[in-house]
Amino acid sequence: MKNLFSVLRSDDVADDLVRVIETIVDASKEIAFLVRQGALAGVLGSTQDENIQGETQKQLDVISNQLLKDLLLANSAVAAIASEEEDTVVAGNAAGKYLVAFDPLDGSSNIDINGQIGTIFSIYRVLDGIAHGSEEQFKQKGAQQVCAGYELYGPSTLLVITTGKGTHCFTLDSTQGNFLLTAGHIRIAQDTQEFAINMSNARFWNDNMRSYIDDLILGETGARGKRYNMRWNAAMVGDVHRVMTRGGIFLYPSDNRNAKQPAKLRLLYEANPMAMLIENAGGKACSETQRILDIQPTQLHERVAVILGSANEVSECLGYLQ
Ligand code: AHG
Ligand code: MN
Ligand code: MN
């Protein structure tokens, strides 16, 4: 079986970028170990603190963030990091060529129930002529990412990664500590009969989104003429991984629960990396109005509606939203 580094070499990934990926992978192996140990490692439960997103931090959010932050800032190729758990950008080596944005622990509500959780990351090149360590460095379109990936801490620990030449899945061999290729060049089915959405928000969606989901629920008796099944993990990594594996559509639409915050998922740490992975596997990833990877970020912690997965189903959904 090929390991991660032989695949990165055959995808012609530059040595210094490989070193950044290696650092992320090293941090995630430590997180995976702590997740497996769970209560025995004392990592479950909440802290007293709130993050910049206005959410109470879980212990594992803080620990995972610190591991990634410490290891990445010690890597001379890393110019700066941005994290869902950090108020602002943290500067690294001024001579570094890469920027790393990450959601250190996705699916925090699953930590204490022994459910699926993960880490999501995104790598950009430093922009010339923009101050070192500034937020402006990170205001790049998702299309500029040079690498995106997630680790899924499930029954197995998986790494799903792309550098723009296909999306590959590796499984952590915990006997050796290596990620081994278990699904190369993933292709997401174009059509699907499975959707993932938090149905409890239905009354807060706009009418068009409600009528799309209504038609899925009507199944063979409605406009879509086929029966759909619904799955919801409450962890984007788990839901997106199901889409990667067997097709499907994942949605976190905008809603009117909170006028100040119409969307939930974060563009830099969640939507962009997942969009790059999905597109490199032949799927489609859009907000309600445009391709996610074409969005020009205006704020570091910007949020965006997300509709991604099987290409034909995403197009069907967008048809309802016009
Ligand atoms: P995080 O744990 O990083 O804050 O992200 C949670 C996100 C995402 O993973 C998931 O799809 C969604 O929030 C779940 O939200 P609900 O509370 O609506 O289930
Ligand atoms: Mn998240
Ligand atoms: Mn998170």
Residues 113-132 have a mean pLDDT of 98
pLDDT of residue 208: 98
Q: What is the whole-number distance in angstroms between the Cα of residue 221 and the centre of ligand 1? A: 32
Atom of ligand 1 at shortest distance to CA of 235? 9
Which protein residue has the closest C-alpha to ligand 1 atom 18? 198
Atom of ligand 1 at shortest distance to CA of 264? 13
pLDDT of residue 188: 98
List pLDDT tens digits, range 165-174: 999 999 999 9
Output the DSSP codes for 36-87: HHGGGGT--SEEEEE-TTS-EEEHHHHHHHHHHHHHHHTSTTEEEEEETTSS
Dihedral, 140, 143, 147, 148 alpha carbons, nearest 10: 90
pLDDT above 90 as % of the chain? 100
pTM: 0.98
For ligand 1, whether the C-beta of 147 sits within 6 Å is: no
For ligand 1, whether the C-beta of 194 sits within 6 Å is: no
- Residue 56 has phi, psi (to 5 degrees) of -65, 130
Q: What is the whole-number distance in angstroms between the Cα of residue 115 and the centre of ligand 2? A: 14
List pLDDT tens digits, range 10-46: 999 999 999 999 999 999 999 999 999 999 999 999 9
pLDDT above 70 as % of the chain? 100
pLDDT of residue 14: 97
pLDDT of residue 12: 96
- What is the band of 233 on the pLDDT scale with cuts at 50, 70, 90? very high
- What is the band of 292 on the pLDDT scale with cuts at 50, 70, 90? very high
In whole angstroms, what is the distance from residue 225 CA to residue 12 CA?
45
Residues 57-82 have a mean pLDDT of 98
Q: What is the whole-number distance in angstroms between the Cα of residue 1 and the centre of ligand 2? A: 31
Domains of the chain are 4-183 (3.30.540.10), 194-321 (3.40.190.80)
In whole angstroms, what is the distance from residue 293 CA to residue 308 CA?
12
